[in-house]
Structure 1
């Protein structure tokens, strides 16, 4: 069991991230991890298949000219490269969708392993978990489409990606973890009281999303990370004088 965290900050967030990474590749998590990766890859594969079919149809029906085959080839190459960039920006919403499916199983495993002395969280209904996952995926899709529009603006593209996803991943994963112990309105209020900590943890999750291959771990990593962050801020709030906000 990891030690109780009475204060939250960069060091504690990093420790929580390291603990989460270790947990999701541990034997108890391994089967769930493989299923999560498989589901993520399957959804991305279906999206890729659909988009490539649409792209091929569009380019085939808009060939420049039979006398300019080099330009046609270049158009296919540029469009294919753009499709790869677009698919990378779709990983956060796909991960969000998958996380709703595995939320309670992953959170319960972390709670039992690292916080056995605490009261267990209450599992969300399957419908509610999927609803949160769909909401998360929808918001993530909108935000990442906006970030994609800024992709070709130097100095703004990566900053927009990390700020947008840091905020969204932190908010949604934290509220999912906190909702196992309190109504959603209280989970949201708790996040707002600890917005700096939650955003910092969200930036860590966004960093994982930005790393190829490693980003396939995002659904379980995000859940495990925010279980630790939730426990940390909960204990910090209990230890702090009444009326004091924990940042």
Structure 2
């Protein structure tokens, strides 16, 4: 089920309807990252000038500026997933609707989240992703631990958030959470796939749209499996 869902999700991400959302999401993400870079470099320059580093130690100032730039590059790489999740969060319902309409045309459409709730969801998801990646950044000098912490935390976070986003279009959130826990192995496997893509530069920018498309397919497949299991369980009870 997972491989089939992933293939369908990848096809969807680059389809014409989804491509428009992808381009808007990428443009806004890159714009925000440029603003963050500009703000942080100005902050470093202000710190150096306020402490008279450039005037008193010009060579040290140059070295410090280049080291800070390299550090910023690493930091931006770590916060990039959170920024892309924040931006794409505003388009998840649109992306899910496209997948439902094109791949499941005979099924009833899902219900989009109210705008205010979608905003809070995007902010919460991005905040959690930022926290996870900042912890991984702090652990960057601990060999092995960094990768395990990053992969494990992102596997759980991405599987939970994207599956519940897809499932809550059709069922109450509490029921979507219960369904995720019931099919924990399948949803975590999907999250592991997303976490693996998250470590690939540039590719991680498509993870939000690929993630929601993947989880729409998984939710549809697991919903059908639940319906098939219910009559069998009823028969056993008899």
Q: Give me the TM-score of the superposition, normalised by structure 1.
A: 0.86
SS at match of 1:211: coil
1:127 maps to 116
**Aligned position for 1:86:** 75
Partner residue of 2:91?
102
Question: Greater Rg, structure 1 or structure 2?
Answer: 2
Asked whether 1:170 is paired with 2:159, we answer yes
Q: More deviation in 151-160 or 180-189?
A: 151-160
Pairwise mapping of residues 152-163 of structure 1 onto structure 2 (< 5 A)?
Answer: 152-163=141-152
| 2:85 and 2:208 in contact (8 A); partners too | yes
**Contact 1:173-1:226 at 8 Å conserved across structures:** yes
Report if aligned partners of 1:98, 1:219 keep a CA contact under 8 Å in 2. Answer: no
**Higher helix fraction (1 or 2):** 2
2:37 aligns with 48
Cα shift at 1:59: 3.0
Give the Cα separation in 1 of the matches to 2:147 and 2:51: 33
RMSD: 1.9
Q: In the alignment, what sits opposite 1:29? A: 18
SS at match of 1:151: helix
* C-alpha distance in 2 between matches for 1:29 and 1:186: 28
Displacement after TM superposition at 1:38 (Å)? 0.9
2:2–2:190 Cα contact (<8 Å) kept: yes
Q: Structure 1 residue 19: deviation in Å? A: 1.9
Matched, 1:61 2:50: yes
| TM-score (ref. length: structure 2) | 0.89
Pick from 205, 210, 219 the counterpart of residue 208 of structure 2.
Answer: 219
Would you say how many aligned residue pairs link Structure 1 and Structure 2?
A: 232
CA distance in structure 2 between the aligned counterparts of 1:121 and 1:141, rounded to whole angstroms: 29
Find the aligned partners of 2:148 and 2:41 in 1 and give their Cα distance: 29
Q: Which residue does 1:147 correspond to in 2?
A: 136
| Alignment correspondent of 2:185 | 196
Alpha-carbon distance between aligned partners in 2 of 1:173 and 1:59, rounded to the nearest angstrom: 42
CA–CA distance in 2 between the matches of 1:106 and 1:193? Answer: 25
| Uncovered stretches (5+) of structure 1, i.e. residues with no partner | 1-11
What is the distance in 1 between the residues matched to 2:196 and 2:87?
18
Q: CA 1:130–1:55 in 2, change beyond 3 Å: closer, same or farther? A: same
* Gapped regions of structure 2 (runs ≥ 5): none
Q: Aligned partners of 2:27, 2:40: CA distance in 1, in Å? A: 20
Deviations along 1:149-194, one digit per CA (max 9) or x if unpaired, are 1111111112211111111111111111111001111111111112
Counterpart-to-counterpart distance in 2, 1:63 and 1:13: 58
Tell me: CA distance 1:113–1:104, structure 2 relative to 1, closer, same or farther (3 Å): same
The residue aligned with 1:8 is none
